[in-house]
Structure 1
């Protein structure tokens, strides 16, 4: 049996193969963030046949202040739950597992969209977008922890199989992780242990309301690939702490570099990051990054670069990609 077709059981997730559809923003939700028929149709098409074992829904905002863009999906209040149930159901009917990614944009938010000044760990321009946030007070940080907690509970109530915390691509939690944007001198800044304090508070808060059997994933921007930014050495420490805190799967991507690496076209270009992290944790690690061929996915798994393979753009461009890949390697 090809490695890509091997099942994997982790926490309460029974995955029939190693293929993951990573979160990709579609801007297909209703204006208020509720699930639209367009989003239902999109995920129904992508999950058709059940060839993808795990589908991670695009990043969804935990509060209006944390909204990243127009027509972004929302988990910000209880009115979203009914629509999210429909979304989880359509994926389950196609025999795939469904995870929701929850996010706060922080300084990546647009003032015109959120109606107020974006927030962040420090008054530092967002390296990707140039927006300058106001610095959060400690009590406001704890309020955002609560917003993540409430959002995760809604995800569970909607019938999803788990929740993923977004700390990559220059968004809010990535802003705390990265020395580029976190210049705080209190317990949330300085050492890597302080810079992930909010992450650990969020993981603990979510665990309290969803229970120990509900899988928590975390998408980690494991390197900014910029001088002075987050390094893989930072992220190895962070990954170990996240595993201790109860994270079931680590989903590895880039930090302020985003989900691309300039000038690098190799399939699985984040493999050096996943390989390094896989050596220090015992939980599964997801690798994404420019994978377009089934054989490339298979080789990355065989070489021990990761436990699960995320295929994004290829699936976005061709809804039959997963079917063709699984059948080709059968």
Structure 2
């Protein structure tokens, strides 16, 4: 074990923080214009008594930030204020419960069913108004989407149809109960007005109660609230009239609908246009969404859907009813948002997850800094999966602090501080950028010729190209912050020590896991063997055309294996998917898992769950399902995707080298335990904690 005698800070040569060259990436992306022309997007719009400063809308998205009793939390105040400070024209606060507990959605949903919630909601609107944003709130009753295990009361709906296959069977509402709910919406709207909201939105889509009356998939009633279009629309007509009476003539009333439910037997756009004819007299803005609970990947857009893919739906309503519309759907590019408004697809453009990732999206566009936007990658992990599946507060994979955002950059180290980062993956880049942005001298070593780590290789796969934009953002951010990136350099402990660091960050990632299965290790990635690891697939993604029409076996149905399956099915390969666990997609977020199941069904992938890999040969694999006999599957190519293992050697060596000194050695990202991008960026930002511990970072 070798010890390093620290050199006084005054004796160190500063690396400097001037802008440095852009570090190389395996996949290059087209850079955003820093000053795109967006006159239509940034123009004002007046609707009744509400004037918006621009056409950008933050749509309602649950956060799980509310207090357990449904009161607005301090975190919510800061969270929404940040989006207002960032220039958003209209912020529609997340859906709020009008009937408690039967209509509650989520574990910590906001409530507006009692006057005691008004004061705190007033504080919320006051925060947004202070920065020039208009504030709306979405009034909602969850219906069959409520969870009786959380609410302690049966779910209710138009009929006895669950909101999604396998969901809770609801109790059909009687006429008196319907009337009570109509009054609940009216009372909630009156409270919203007293709380200072500039508009209210009724949620009539996405498999919530009003949607469950509108959709023939749910509504099987034979009374005046069912049957014909007019019958299915009756409840919403009554709610709209009651809400209008409660808010008066100056406050806009918005209606969110699933214009196309995208499910056989559900409402099509033509159906929804006909329904809207019955509702339009009381509607000021039509919020045009799509999808239901059973196809959530089209409601909360999956990664591969293009920017603005739903804008044509909004155009149909705008043209027919001559009313302002809101559209959404993976809009990230300012020029796409501008086109949507300028060409008349929609008057307003909603960016939900985009504004979670980048609260200052509008401000950066308006100020000619669009190239510094932290662009959402539509991964749906920290936002949708945290909230819906895991009952956690929302987070973001690429923004470690969605509440305070870039506020940490105002902090500064109080004395010269050097940080050395070993590994140029997502976690390493985040740590390097963060340290440099608070005034540290930072050197980052990457043994390969390009940065990005495993994620940098994964973006070679077509479905992952949005993530390439994030990596490009990181390397440009590193250059602006003055990080000294040294690629093609193996960071030995001695080399790291020669820079006399105060903090060392080990971020050396992970490698494919190859268990001791007969025939596997001697064949994997050997030319001509037909047995390939995920790293080999990513490195040669452009050559996968050779798989077209062939039979392939993919071993492992986690995130990596399903990425490979997706590539193979796009090439019309015949795929057999082998998974040891009883179900596929166990480590995927909710949206991507639903997308994967859809892809498997559409392409007829043969799925063998509960099946273990026994042996690997040339052109075949042996597998065993449960305790059954060994079966041989012949294939042209076998992809082995059995997960990743941390690269632990570097951290062990660095820890030993700096033992007994005051140099802090951190281990982050996959080298500390294989995780997702969200884990790596969060750990990278935690370099601030190490600087605080050393006492060199001012509050």
- TM class, shorter-length: over 0.9
Number of residues paired by the alignment?
328
Query: In 2 relative to 1, CA 126–93 (structure 1 residues): closer, same or farther, beyond 3 Å?
Result: same
Name the CA distance, whole Å, in 1 between partners of 2:55 and 2:166.
Answer: 34
Please report how far the alpha carbon of residue 31 of structure 1 lies from its aligned counterpart in structure 2 after TM superposition: 0.2
The alignment's C-alpha RMSD in Å is: 1.6
Secondary structure at 1:99's aligned position in 2? strand
Which residue matches 1:306?
346
Name the CA distance, whole Å, in 2 between partners of 1:91 and 1:57.
Answer: 11
Name the CA distance, whole Å, in 2 between partners of 1:264 and 1:193.
Answer: 37
Q: Report if aligned partners of 1:180, 1:228 keep a CA contact under 8 Å in 2.
A: yes
Which residue matches 2:317?
277
Q: Does 1:249 align with 2:289?
A: no
Please report how far the alpha carbon of residue 263 of structure 1 lies from its aligned counterpart in structure 2 after TM superposition: 7.9
1:114 counterpart (125, 139, 151):
151
Please report how far the alpha carbon of residue 264 of structure 1 lies from its aligned counterpart in structure 2 after TM superposition: 5.5
Name the CA distance, whole Å, in 1 between partners of 2:166 and 2:199.
Answer: 30
Q: Does 1:151 align with 2:188?
A: yes
Which residue matches 1:160?
197
Name the CA distance, whole Å, in 2 between partners of 1:201 and 1:14.
Answer: 27
Name the CA distance, whole Å, in 2 between partners of 1:320 and 1:300.
Answer: 20
Q: Does 1:93 align with 2:130?
A: yes
Please report how far the alpha carbon of residue 116 of structure 1 lies from its aligned counterpart in structure 2 after TM superposition: 0.9
Name the CA distance, whole Å, in 2 between partners of 1:167 and 1:327.
Answer: 36
- Whose RCO is larger (CA < 8 A, sep 6+)? 1
Query: In 2 relative to 1, CA 128–100 (structure 1 residues): closer, same or farther, beyond 3 Å?
Result: farther
Which residue matches 2:222?
185
Name the CA distance, whole Å, in 2 between partners of 1:241 and 1:7.
Answer: 29
Name the CA distance, whole Å, in 2 between partners of 1:190 and 1:328.
Answer: 53
Please report how far the alpha carbon of residue 303 of structure 1 lies from its aligned counterpart in structure 2 after TM superposition: 2.3
Please report how far the alpha carbon of residue 261 of structure 1 lies from its aligned counterpart in structure 2 after TM superposition: 5.2
Query: In 2 relative to 1, CA 217–243 (structure 1 residues): closer, same or farther, beyond 3 Å?
Result: same
1:10 counterpart (47, 50, 57):
47
Q: Does 1:59 align with 2:99?
A: no
Stretches of 4+ moved more than 6 A in 1? none
> Structure 2 matches for 1:31-70, cutoff 5 A?
31-49=68-86, 51-64=87-100, 65-70=102-107
Please report how far the alpha carbon of residue 231 of structure 1 lies from its aligned counterpart in structure 2 after TM superposition: 1.1
Which residue matches 2:671?
none
Q: Report if aligned partners of 2:301, 2:330 keep a CA contact under 8 Å in 1.
A: no
1:268 counterpart (291, 294, 308):
308
Please report how far the alpha carbon of residue 207 of structure 1 lies from its aligned counterpart in structure 2 after TM superposition: 1.4
Q: Report which of the two structures shows the higher radius of gyration computed on alpha carbons.
A: 2
Which residue matches 2:442?
none
Name the CA distance, whole Å, in 2 between partners of 1:129 and 1:286.
Answer: 32
Q: Report if aligned partners of 1:230, 1:255 keep a CA contact under 8 Å in 2.
A: no
Name the CA distance, whole Å, in 2 between partners of 1:296 and 1:133.
Answer: 41
Q: Which runs of 5+ in 2 are unaligned?
A: 1-37, 371-699
Which residue matches 1:220?
257
Moved more, 208-217 or 260-269: 260-269
TM-score, normalised via structure 2 length: 0.46
Which residue matches 2:355?
315
Q: Does 1:203 align with 2:240?
A: yes
Secondary structure at 1:279's aligned position in 2? helix
Moved more, 273-282 or 83-92: 273-282
Residues 218-258 of structure 1 deviation map (CA, whole Å, 9 limit, x = unaligned): 111111101100111121122233221x2111111114144
Q: Does 1:324 align with 2:361?
A: no
Name the CA distance, whole Å, in 2 between partners of 1:235 and 1:21.
Answer: 24
Please report how far the alpha carbon of residue 282 of structure 1 lies from its aligned counterpart in structure 2 after TM superposition: 1.4
Name the CA distance, whole Å, in 2 between partners of 1:262 and 1:222.
Answer: 18
